[in-house]
Amino acid sequence: MPELRELYDAILNGDHKTSAAVTREAIDAGIEPMELVSGYMVPAMDEVGKRFECEDYFIPELLLSARAMKAALELLRPLLAASGAKSAGRVVIGTVKGDLHDIGKNIVGAMLEGGGFEVIDLGADVAPQKFIAAIKERNPQLICLSALLTVTMPSMKTTIEAFKEAGVRDGVKVIVGGAPVTAEFAREIGADGFGENATAAVALARQLLQAA
Amino acid sequence: MNGRERILASIQGQPTGRLPLMPITMMFAADQIGARYLDYVTDYRVLAEGQMRTAEKFGFDYVSAISDPAREPADLGAAIEFFPDQPPAVIEDRALLADKTRLAALRVPDPLAGRRMSDRVHGVALLKQRAGGDLLVEGWVEGPCAEAADLRGINTLMVDFYDDPAFVDDLFEFTVAMELEFAKAQIQAGADIIGVGDAAASLVGPKFYQGHVWAYEKKLIQGIHDLGAKVRLHICGNTRRILEGMGRTGADIVDLDYLAPVAAARAAMGPRQVLLGNLEPVGVLRNGSPEIVRDTVAACHRDAGENYIAGAGCEVCRDTPEANLRALCEYAHVSR
């Protein structure tokens, strides 16, 4: 019987080899995949988020923990799908058209995944039509738009307007984030919320999807 | 006292008459002359025209050849995407050093070979010619962490700090050698000061900043001093946890982004360090009012005390109301 606390510790310490090994042992021992996710992986990533917020962890530690979490999740994903287990919600995330910066988006995506969400990452420089296609094909509840540059922030507005024109805006919640983005800007462009950082984005996602 | 003399006096701890003024403008300067940003970053004559006209209009004490971080990577052969009216960007999923074994074969490019680095060198020379000694002329290079992030891919570099720290050091060693060659060419073209932009350094936390980044920043800054120029160190982002180290790099001017309080920087670096900044570029300078801008720069000045240069926390955004930028400049023009 594997010591499951080691999974929590491996993710917190960014040890992807141990997180994968413990997960394999747990699967072999017949432990329910959802127990691993909600009992150890989500709490570990919550703790990572807390340590990041209080400046105990920085970007290298956060990415390392995300890698360890993903190593475990890759092994569990087929089992979760087969069992019909429900995620906290399905999210489509991307950096908007014209912006190639993706580290902030990657961190938010990883923290959402660590928070139990199913995350579909469209990458950087994503055109509105690509978001719309993902909404139609994957049926997400939440869209996360990222931008690092003030000059690409207008692409967030363009994207949301394209959602309206395509008739898909009312079926999803939209949150925005990135260094120059403000809550005021989010309101102006008709987003449902603004995540100041990755942990705030996860909290907002949970709040929006619970209310929906 | 002209602008050049004022900034140099400030660096030497001598009286400046009034506050020196050094806001970073790039897209804002291009817009001032109605130029597309693509032309600003690819034609040094456009950059020089934008800088001169902006400095004259707002009463800056300097002009700068800063434009984008993709000049060195472009000359090394990295994949770059150009946009009509915004800064070019390195394409991270085709990073030059995605395979880190390629570092061994990488050679420092000739900054005068007629490519993007040369364009900046020509820009410095033209700015020197047009400023005529009245304004300080600033060249620009990337810091070791920012340049390494552009070559390796920032997501990968962050993990490299744990997975392969020796590679990180080797990469930093290469970037410092390259940036010193680039700085040398700009100094020989007339740069009085070299801006060192090390944006990614704010992401790594104090452990890796002290353990890896700091020594290479210091080496780069010392090298620029040895070449006869002053140094402005600018690290974008939240630098609160690395302020003390930034103050020990030897940079003549530490240019603070808005997330690091001026008071904390003063406490960490002592009274003699020249501090620059640090109005929030979006929330205050772009979205605020002239009164808010004036109050905020006054608060920065109060927290810094002596040895202070007025400026925004980072680049002045392109759609900043002119009245707001004027409020910042007018404060510097009448304050001691």
List the one residue out of B116, B30, B28 whose CA is nearest residue B69.
B116
Q: Does A106 touch chain B (CB under 8 A)?
A: yes
Instruction: Kindly tell me if the per-residue pLDDT of A114 is higher than 90.
Output: no
Cis peptide bond N-terminal to B278, omega within 30: yes
Identify the pLDDT of residue B185. 98
Residue B132 — pLDDT band, cuts 50, 70, 90? confident
List the one residue out of B318, B71, B83 whose CA is nearest residue A97.
B83
DSSP B213: I
Instruction: Kindly tell me if the per-residue pLDDT of B36 is higher than 90.
Output: yes
Look at phi and psi of residue A167 and say left if phi exceeds 0, alpha if psi is from -120 to 50, else beta: left
Contact residues, chain B, for A57 at CB < 8 Å? 205
Identify the pLDDT of residue A41. 93
* Distance (Å, whole) CA B22 – CA A77: 53
Task: Indicate yes or no: CB of B241 within 8 angstroms of CB of A152.
Answer: no
Q: Does A95 touch chain B (CB under 8 A)?
A: no
Please provide the size of chain A in residues: 212
Identify the pLDDT of residue A211. 74
Q: What range does the domain containing B186 cover?
A: 3-334
Q: Which CATH number fits domain A90-211: 3.40.50.9100, 3.40.50.10540, 3.40.50.280, 3.30.70.2190?
A: 3.40.50.280
Q: Residue ranges of the domains in chain A? A: 5-83, 90-211
CATH number of A5-83: 1.10.1240.10
Task: Indicate yes or no: CB of B208 within 8 angstroms of CB of A151.
Answer: no
Identify the pLDDT of residue A101. 86
What ipTM was assigned to the predicted interfaces of this complex?
A: 0.93
In tens, the pLDDT along A160-205 reads 999 999 999 999 999 999 988 999 999 999 999 998 888 899 999 9
> In angstroms, what CA-CA distances link B64 with B49, B75, B128, B160?
11, 21, 10, 33
Mean pLDDT for all residues in chain A: 93
Angle (deg, nearest 10), helices A42-53 and A198-211: 130
List the one residue out of B233, B226, B332, B213 whose CA is nearest residue B274.
B233
List the one residue out of B214, B226, B224, B302 whose CA is nearest residue B263.
B302
Which of A12, A48, A54, A100 should be substituted to probe chain B, the one whose Cβ sees the most B Cβ atoms within 10 Å?
A: A100
Residue B62 — pLDDT band, cuts 50, 70, 90? very high
Instruction: Kindly tell me if the per-residue pLDDT of B155 is higher than 80.
Output: yes
Percentage of chain A with pLDDT > 90? 75
DSSP B153: -
List the one residue out of A168, A158, A167, A165 whose CA is nearest residue A189.
A158
Identify the pLDDT of residue A150. 85
Contact residues, chain B, for A184 at CB < 8 Å? 287
Domains contained in chain B, number: 1
Residue A149 — pLDDT band, cuts 50, 70, 90? confident
User: What backbone torsions phi and psi does residue B235 show, to the nearest 5 degrees?
Assistant: -120, 115
Looking at residues B263-284, what average pLDDT do you find?
96
DSSP A31: -
> What CATH number does residue B265 fall under?
3.20.20.210
Sole residue written with tokens 């001032």: B32
Q: Does A146 touch chain B (CB under 8 A)?
A: no
Residue A105 — pLDDT band, cuts 50, 70, 90? very high
